[in-house]
A and B are shown apart, each in its own frame.
Chain A
Amino acid sequence: MSEKINNRRDFLKKSLAAAAGITIIPRYVMGGNGFLAPSDQLTKAIIGVGGMGQGHITYEGTRLLAICDVDKNHLNSTLEKVGADVKGYSDFREVLLRPDIDIVHIATPPHWHGIMSVMAAQAGKDVWCEKPMTRTIGEGKRVVEAINATGRMFRLNTWFRFKDNFYGLGTTVKPLKKAVQSGALGWPLKVTISGVTGFNWKFYWVGKTNLQPEPVPAELDYNMWLGPAPEKPYNKHRVHQTFRGYWDYDGGGLGDMGQHYIDPVQYILDKDNTSPVKVEIDAPQQHYDAIGTWRKITYTYADGCQIILDGENKDQNAAYIEGPKGKIFNGFRSDIPGLQELIASLPDPEPRITTFSESVRSRKKFALNEENGHRSATIVNMGVIALRLGRNLEFDPDKQEFINDDEANKLINQPMRGEWKI
C-alpha cells in the first residue's frame, strides 16, 4: 500500500471521528459533545471462544463483557486471559438476556450461526457473525428476515470485499471493482479461484469415515455443542478443530474458506442481490457424514458470468478475471495495456461503512451485511448441496430454491434436533 493512500486514509479517519462526535446518538453520549466516556463504549459478548472466537477478543472499538462456551476448558482458559469484568457463561441464552450488551459475536461452528443470529436480533442485539454465515440457505433467509424486522445491524466476519489484500492477488478489491466497472474486460466475466490466481483451496478439513464412538470428555457439554445437529456418537474428531470435516456442522474446505473468497467476487461482479442459476461439480462421491475433497465447482449466473473454484489448480493459465476483452491475472498482471493507469484515472466506487462500531452508532448498514452475506453464503451452500447429492443443480435466485429437484430443496431447510428452531 502506498504511503499516499495511508495518509489520506488517516486524514479521513481523523476527520470522520471528529464528525462522528456531532452525529452520535444520545444513548452513547453521556460525557458531552464529542466526548466518549468509557461507559459509552459499545459492549460485546462472544459466543464460542475455542478457535475463531479468540480473534474476536481483540477486535477494536468495543468492550468485552461476556464470553460463552460449552467446553469448560475453553471457557476457563479464556477467562484467565481477559479482564476481571468479563463474565463466563455456558448457555448463550443467558448472555442474550443481559441488557448491557450491544453486540453479540458468534464464533461457534456454523450449525449454530443461524439460530444464534436470529435469537440475538430478537433480543435486540447487533450481530457480528463468523463465516460461513449459515449452514443452510433457509437459515440465511431467516437471518435476513429477523435482522430486517427488528432493525438490527449485522456484519459477517470476512473482510476482503472492503479491506486488506485480496488473498494472493496482492491488491485490495477496489481496483478490481473499478476495472470491472470500467468495462475494460468486457462482459460476461469468468472468475477463477485457485492457487494459480492466488488461493490454494485447503483440503485438510476432511472428515473421517467409520469413526469409533468415544466417551464424551467431562469438560464438554456435547448435547449443547450439537444443539440442532443430529445426535451421533461422540468422537473427538467431530468437534473443536476438526468439526469442519462433517456435513452436520460445516462444509469442509468450501465451508471454511469459500465465503472468504466468493464474497468479494459477488461485489466485483455486482451480483449482491442475486445468485447463480447453475452449479456444476466435478468431485469424487461424498460420504454421507464425512466431507471429502472436490476437483472443481463451477457457478454460472443468468447473464453468463461464472465463478470457477479450481481445487486442483488444473488450469495453469487461469486469469483471476477473464472477459471477452481482457484478463487480470494473479499479482494484478493484465493483458490490457495500461490497466493500472486506467484504473487510477477512474472514479472510486461509492463509499461504504467498513467499521462495525460506526455502523452500530450511525445505524447505517455495514459493507458486508446480512443481505449480501446471505447471498455469498448461498453460493457456498449451493456447492455443498450439489456435492452432497453428487449432481449438478439449477437454482432460481428470486425464489431461492432449486428447480425441479425436490431432494435438493429438502436440504434448503433441514430439521433441527430437540428444542432448537429458527
Chain B
Amino acid sequence: MKRQIQYIFSVLLAMILVVPGFAQDKRTLDTKVADILAQFPASAAGHTDRLMGEMVELGPEGLAKFFSLIVPAGTGDDSQARYALSSLSRYAGAPAREEARKLAETSFLTALNQASDKEVKAYYIRELMFCGQSPTVAALAKYLETPALSSPAVATLTTIGTDEAATAIFNSLKNQSGDLQIEFIKALGTLKYKPAEAHLIAAYEKANTSEQLQILTALAGIGGPASAKQFKQAAQKAGYAADPTETIVSYFDYARQLAKNGETKLSNSLASAAMKNCTRKEQLHFRSAALEILHTNQGEASTPLLLKELKNSDKAYRNAVLRIAGNNLNSKESDQWVSMFSKVPSETQAELLFFLAPRQEENILSELILPSLKSTNAAVRQQAIQALVINQKTVAIPTLLDQLKQVKAEADYPVLEEALLTACSVSECGQLAAELNEMNDAGKTVLVHVLADRQATASFGMIENLCTSENAELRLAAYTALSSTAQPENLGTLITLLEKSPGQAETEAAQRAIINLYEAKDQPESAVILDALASGTQRARLIPVLPYLNDRNALKSVTSLMKSGTGAEKEAAFKALTNWSGSAALPSLYAIFSNNDSFRAAALNAYLKQVSQAGIPDDQKLLWLDKIMNQCTTAGEKNQVISAAGSVKTFLSLVFVSNYMNQEELSAAAAQATMKIALPASGEKNGLTGQFVREALQKAKEKITGDDSQYYKIDIQEYLDKMPAETGYVSIFNGKDLNGWQGLVKNPIERAKMSPKALDKDQAAANKRMLENWAVKDGSIVFNGNGDNLCTVKSYKDFDLIVDWRITKNGDSGIYLRGTPQVQIWDTARVDVGAQVGSGGLYNNTKNPSKPLVLADNAIGDWNTFRIRMVDQRVTVYLNGQLVVDNVILENYWDRSIPIFSEEAIELQAHGTDLAFRNIYVREINADTSNLIEEEKAAGFTSLFNGRDLDLWIGNKTDYVPEDGVIGVYPTQGGHGNLYTAKEYSNFILRFEFQLTPGANNGLGIHAPLEGDAAYAGKELQILDNEAPIYAKLQPYQYHGSVYGIIPAKRGFQKPVGQWNTQEVVVNGDHFKVTLNGEVILDGNVKEATKNGTPDHKDHPGLERHTGHIGFLGHGSELKFRNLRIKELK
C-alpha cells in the first residue's frame, strides 16, 4: 500500500508541475500516464480510441503503471484506472488490432499474477474475456481450482471457447465437487466438448439430482450418439414428465442437437418415442416440442402427422400444431390443410381459418372462407368474416355487405363492423351508403358506425334522416355520427336536431357535433348560436356550446344566465364557464368562488385548471393564482392553489409558494411546489439558482413528506450541491418597513455637483419627507399621493429587476432606472394623454422607441408584474409576462447630450395618486467576478462571461451556448449571425481562452457594427486552426491572430487542436497587439499598414471606426471560448 500511495502522490505532483510539451514530448512516463489517466472517462468514442492509442504506445512498462493503481474494492477510488484498463481490453480485442491485443493480454496476465486480492483478480479474469487467447487459457487453468476465482475463470474460458479452453476445463473437472463441478459440467455442454461425453455418461448414475440435471444438459449440448441410450432410459424413468432433473427438457435439446450434428434418424427416433409417451394433458407441451423436432427434421414429409395431430381435443395443443405447421409452409402442404377442413369439428375449422387466412392460394378463399360465411356455427362464421377481410382487403366489401344483409346472430354485427373498418377507406364509403336502405336497423347501425369512423361527409344527409329513426340504437348511432360527418353548412340542421333531440345522449351528441364545428379552423359565425339562444326555447341545450364560440358576447350571456336563468339554465351556465378555454372566464369564476355558494368548490377547480391551461405567460398565471389565494379560507383550498403554483416555473412563483412552508397545514404542499419550481424539469436545464432559491430548497428538504419523499430529498440535495454560489435575486423590500430605501434629492447630475456635506443634509431632509408620503401596508409599499420618489440606497449598474405594482383609477407612476425616468405605469383609460398604448414603455425617450410593443396591463385594482433588464444603456421590459420593450436604449432625460449614467439608484415614481408596490427583487448581472484573479481585479478588469449565461451579449444565442463555464459554438443548431457584446468598446485589453476543433474558423470582431461583414465594416482578428491541411494556402494576413486582410500575424504558436490557448488582444486607437500563449504574434498599426492601400486590395471602411461591439464571427465551425475578461483603456 505504501508504495502505491507514494506512487499516486508522485503522479499527482507530476500532473501539477509539468506543463505538457508539444513540439517534443519530453514528459516522463509517469507524467504521460497521469496525463492519460486524467482524461478518463473519455468524452466520446474517438477520444477513447485516441487515449487507447497513447496507452498502447507506452508499452508494458507504461501499462504496468495503470495496473499498479488498481486497489481492492473498498480501499480507495481506482475508478479512472479501471476505466482505462477495461477500455483497453475492449479496444485491443477489436478486429485488426493484433499487436495491441497481445500487449493487453500479456499485461493483464502479468497483473493477474501479481495481484493478491480476489476481487481484483476476478476483475482481471473477466476483462481477459475480451482480449485473451491461448496464453490466457494456459494461465487461467490454475485458477480453475481457486475458490472465488474458478467461476470467473470458467466464464472467461467459455467465452474464449476454443478446444484448448474446453480441454482445460475438462482436465480440471475431476478435481471439482459440488456447485463448482456443476458449473464445469455446464461449461462443457455449452462448448459442446465431445471428449467429455463418455466421462459424463459414466458419472450420471452416481450423481445427485442437480448434477444429473447438468450432466443431461451438457450431454444434450454435445449431442453425441453415444448418449442416446442414457436419454431414453432417463426419460422413461421420469415418465416423460417434468421432474427435478429436467430430463425431458434436455431430452428435446439433445434430439435437436443430434439433428444439427447430422444424426437425423436418431433424432427422429427420440422425437417419435416422445410422441408415443406424451399423451396426457400435462404432457402436451412436450408433445408439441417433439412434433416441432419431427417437422424440422422431415419438412413436408411430416404433414400427414401434423394433420393427424390437429384432431387432438386440446385447443392449446392444436394451435401449437398449426403454429409448427406454419414454419415454411408451402402451397402443396397448404392444399392438404384445405382438404382437411371438412373433416374436423367446427371449433378446429375456425382455427384453420385463422391459420390460413393470410395465404393467397385460391382454394383457401373459394373452398374455406366463402363457404364458411354460410356456416351455422357462429365461431366458424365469424372467423370466416375476419379471414375474408385479411385475405381480400378492399375486394371483400361487397361480400361483407351481403353478409350484413343476412346476419344470423346478433354477435356477427360487431365482427362485420370491425371487418368493414379494416377493409374500407373513405373512397369505398359510397358502396356502403348505396346499400344502407337494404339493411335492417342493426345493419344500418353498423354502417353508420363505419361511415362515422371514416368521416364520410357525403353521407351527412342520410345520417340526418336516421336521427329520427324509431330504433333507439340506430338513432343514437346516427346522432353520434353527426360530429364526424357534419360540415359548417350543416350548422342549422344540427341546431334543429339539438332542439328536437329525444334524450340526454342524443342531446350531448348534437352538442358535440356543433362544438366540433366551432373547434375547426374555419369557425362558423358565433351569431348563429347566439341568435338561436335568444329566440329558441331550448336555451339550456345550447348553453354547453357557448364556451367554444370564442366570443365575448357568449361569455356575457352565460354570466347573465348564471344570475337570472332558471335552475337548469344556471347549472348549464356554470358548467359552460368551467369549460371555457383561455383566461376569459376567470373573472366570472373568481366572482362565483368569492360568493361562497354551492358552486364554490367546482369554481375553484375550474379556475385553477383554466389558469394552468390558458395560453398566457407564467407571470400572469401567478397573478391569477395570487388573486384567488386571497379569497381562500380553508387549508384545502389554499393547498390547491399552492399546488397549481408549483407548475409555474418563475422566481416569483417560488417566492409565493415558499412563504407557506411556515404554516403547518400548508407546508407539505408548499415544499412540494417549491421543489417543483426550483429544480429543473426532466431533461431540461431550467432550474432556478441564487441564494433565495438555495434557502427555500433547504427548507423544502426539511418539510417535504409523503410517498417518495426520500427520493425528493436526494434530488434536492444533489441539485443544491451542483448549484453555483451566485447571489441571484435579492429582495430589496422586506415587507415590513422601508429599510434600504431613502428619499430623493434633486437629480443625479445636480447631486453630483453637491458637496458631501450639503448632500448629507438634503438627504436627511428627504428621508424625513419620505416617511410622510411612503409607508408599508399589508406587505406592500404604498404612496399617499404627495411627495417625491422613493429611491434605493444602493446604486445599480446592470441588473434584472422584478417588481409588482398596482394603481387606482387615473393612476400614473413609473420606475426610474439609474435615477432616470422611466418605465411608464399609467391607467390605460387616460386616452387624453395617450395611455391607451399601455404601461411599460420608456416614456421619456425621444430618439428611441418610447411606446410599449403591446398592451399588457391588467385591470385597474389588480396587480401587475414588471420584469426589467438593464444592460449597459439598453432596457428590456416584460409586463405580465409579455415583451413590451425589446432591448431599447434608455436616453438620459437629465441631459440628452450624454448617455445614461453607468450606475445609479432604482426609484419608484411618485405621481399624485394611490400606488402600491410589492415583490421587489434585484439580480445584479455580472457583479460576480469570481473568474478574475486578484491582480486583474485590482487592475480594473471586468468579466464578460460569468460562466452561466450570456446576459452581457446580444445576437446569436442559439449557436453560442453557455455551458459549465465555457461558451460553446455549435453552428448546426440553427442560429443565425454572430454573437456581440451588448456594450460598445473603443480602446481595451481583452483576455480570453479558446479551444479549436480540427479546421475550425471563427473571428474576433473589433469596433463592429451589428450589421454587415465585421471584417470590413469593423476589423476582424482571425481565429483559425492554421495548421489544418485545408488552410495550407492561406495568405499570411489570414493566419490566426491577423487583422484580417490588413496585418499578418506570426504562425506556429497555437497549441495542438483540442487544447486551450490563451490570448490577449490590446486595441488602442489604430494600434493592435495580439499575444498568443505568451508569444507576441502581432504588433502593428492598421493605419500605417494601409497607407499604400490594403494588402488584400479590398475596401475596409471599418478602418475609420473607433468604437463598436466586440463579436465572435462564426464561420460554421465548432469551437469553445472561456475566461473572457476586459479592461477599458481611456
Contact = CB atoms under 8 A, between A and B. Distances in A.
Contact of B424 (A16, A122, A347): A347
B316 A363 contact: yes
A392 B46 CA distance: 11
A317 to B, nearest CB: 7
B95 A391 contact: no
A97 B288 CA distance: 19
A344 B183 contact: no
A390 B129 CA distance: 16
A220 B455 CA distance: 59
A371 to B, nearest CB: 11
Contacts of A313: 683
B1080 interface: no
Task: Give the bracket for the number of chain A residues in contact with chain B.
Answer: 35 or more
B386 interface: yes
Interface string B390-412: 10011000000000000000110
Nearest to B390: A350
Contact of B130 (A230, A283, A286, A407): A407
Interface string A14-57: 01101100110111000000000000000000000000000000
A193 interface: no
B182 A418 contact: yes
Interface stretch (B108-116, B413-421, B924-932): B413-421
B414 A11 contact: yes
Contacts of B154: 415
Contacts of A150: 285-286, 288-289, 320
Given A202-B682, A351-B386, A415-B158, A363 B186 contact: no
Contacts of B130: 407, 410
B379 A22 contact: yes
A124 interface: yes
Interface in A183-240: 195, 200-202, 209-213, 230-233
Nearest to A147: B323
Contact of A288 (B86, B94, B186, B422): B86
B42 A8 contact: no
A405 B423 CA distance: 46
A314 B321 CA distance: 50
B588 interface: no
A287 B89 CA distance: 12
B454 A344 contact: yes
A419 B44 contact: no
A97 B242 contact: yes
Interface string A330-351: 0000000000010011111111
A233 B119 contact: yes
B121 interface: no
A21 to B, nearest CB: 9
Given A4-B480, A406-B93, A151 B316 contact: yes
B313 A26 contact: yes
B378 interface: yes
B733 to A, nearest CB: 38
A148 B158 contact: no
Contact of B48 (A25, A121, A285): A285
B727 to A, nearest CB: 30
B683 A341 contact: no
A23 B422 contact: no
Contacts of A233: 73-74, 119
A417 B154 CA distance: 9
B79 A210 contact: yes
A391 B252 contact: no
Interface string A147-187: 01111100000000000000000000000000000000000
B486 to A, nearest CB: 13
A60 interface: no
A149 B286 CA distance: 8
Nearest to B152: A230
B242 A148 contact: no
B159 A149 contact: no
Interface string A284-324: 11111100100000000000000000000110110000000
Contacts of A388: 90
Given A8-B449, A406-B95, A348 B422 contact: yes
A99 B280 CA distance: 13
Interface string B424-466: 1111000000000000000000000100111100000000000
Nearest to A389: B90
B82 A419 contact: no
B909 interface: no
A151 B323 contact: yes
A345 B480 contact: no
A285 B41 CA distance: 6
Nearest to A97: B242
A4 B451 CA distance: 12
A421 B186 contact: yes
A316 B975 CA distance: 11
Nearest to A363: B319
Task: Give the bracket for the number of chain B residues in contact with chain A.
Answer: 35 or more
A372 B26 CA distance: 58
A237 to B, nearest CB: 12
B319 A364 contact: yes
Interface in A402-422: 404-407, 410, 414-419, 421
Interface in B922-973: 973
A4 B183 contact: no
Contacts of B288: 149-151
A2 B73 CA distance: 58
B455 A341 contact: yes
A221 to B, nearest CB: 15
Given A4-B483, A233-B119, A15 B421 contact: no
Contacts of B284: 124, 151
Given A12-B414, A345-B425, A285 B183 contact: no
A15 B182 contact: no
B512 interface: yes
A86 interface: no
Contact of B425 (A212, A232, A346): A346
Contacts of A286: 41
Nearest to A125: B285
A287 B84 CA distance: 9
A406 to B, nearest CB: 7
A62 to B, nearest CB: 16
A289 B422 CA distance: 49
Contacts of B94: 389, 391, 405, 407
Interface in B656-688: 682-684
Contacts of A97: 242
B267 interface: no
B1108 to A, nearest CB: 31
A281 interface: yes
B554 interface: no
A26 B386 CA distance: 23
Contact of B82 (A15, A27, A209, A283): A209
B323 to A, nearest CB: 6
A103 B956 CA distance: 59
B982 interface: no
A210 B426 contact: no
A363 B378 contact: no
B323 A4 contact: no
A123 interface: yes
Give the 5 A-B CB pairs with smallest separation, nearest first: A151-B320, A200-B683, A345-B426, A288-B86, A363-B319
Interface of A: 2-4, 7-8, 11-12, 15-16, 18-19, 22-23, 25-27, 97, 99, 121-124, 148-152, 195, 200-202, 209-213, 230-233, 281-289, 292, 313-314, 316-317, 341, 344-351, 363-364, 388-392, 404-407, 410, 414-419, 421
8 contacts: A2-B483, A27-B315, A122-B285, A150-B320, A151-B284, A285-B43, A350-B422, A405-B95
Given A150-B320, A283-B44, A292-B41, 15 more contacts: A3-B480, A4-B453, A18-B411, A23-B379, A25-B314, A151-B317, A195-B684, A232-B119, A284-B44, A286-B41, A341-B455, A344-B455, A345-B454, A390-B87, A417-B183
